[in-house]
Every structure is written in structure tokens, then in C-alpha cells.
Amino acid sequence: MNTLYTVLTVVLVAGGVFAIAYFLLKEFFQNEQSKRNYSSFEEKVSISLPVKMQAYERIVLLLERMSPTNLVMRTHKQGLTAAQFHQILIQTIREEFDHNLSQQLYISDKAWEMVSNAKEEMIRQINTSAGLLDDKATSTDLSKKLLEMSIDKLATRKALDFVKNEARKVF
């Protein structure tokens, strides 16, 4: 009887020690896994955040460069016909946009849609402005007409505001 009591006591104590060790080790390993996950997350964020912010910067630059005032100031050349300047404006916008296509990976679908719509709206405004001029119009005439038409409705401004707000949320 004494032996049975001793064996039972040893088994219960060993079982208790085993249970305590099991739960302590389980908690320890869960904490270590959480630390590794958080460390991995921190590493991903430290790598991806600068890339995302750079993408937003490039999109802001694209939209600024596509805005009518900046576009005209940057591309205007004396002595061109309106038709020649029309082609230069359209080509410049398309090249700028194509150069930044990869940035859509880093911004939201809605932001990219607004950027794409701004590009299309700018091309539409340029085409409309050029269509209102006669065959003898100069690049200066087209510049004036484009700037007059785009005073109130700047799709680039709306897209720019949206992208800036989105970038602020990311950062």
C-alpha cells in the first residue's frame, strides 16, 4: 500500500511537472513565433514602405508634369504649327505615362484609375483645343486655347489630390 501510494505520488507530481513544463514551453514557442512574425513584418514594411512612397512621389510628379500649365511650359517651342505642337503634347503625355506604368503595383487600383483617367482627360482636352483652331494656328495659339479650356476642369488636380491623400494614409 505504501508503495502504491509512493508510485501514485510520483506519477502525479511528474504529471504536474510535465503539464507545467508543457504549457510554459508552448507559451514560450508561441511568443517566439510571434516575435519572428513581427520581425518579418517589420522587415517587409521597412523595405516596402520606401518603395511605396517613391511610387507615390513618381505618380505625383507624373500628374504635375501632365498638368496643362507645366506641360505647355515644358514642351512649347516657337515656330511650330498647332498641329505639330498637338502631336508633341500627346506624345509627351503618353511617354510620361508609359514610363510610370510599373508604379501601379504600389498604389491602389482607385488611385491608378484616377491617374489613367487624368491622362485620358488631358489628351481629350488637347484634342478638343486643337480641333477648335484653324489650319494656320501656331503652337502659341494652341497653348492659349488649352490653358483657357483647362482652367476649371483639371482632372490632373483631382487625381493629384486623391493620390496625396492616399499617400498620407500609407505613411
Q: What separation in angstroms does the CA of 163 have from each of 22, 65, 154, 169?
A: 51, 15, 14, 10
Burial class (CB in 10 A: 0-12, 13-18, 19+), 123: middle
What are the pLDDT digits (tens) for 76-123?
A: 888 999 999 999 999 999 999 999 999 999 999 999 999 999 999 999
**Integer Cα distance of 121 and 68 in angstroms:** 11
DSSP state letter for 67: S
- Global pTM reads 0.73
DSSP state letter for 166: H
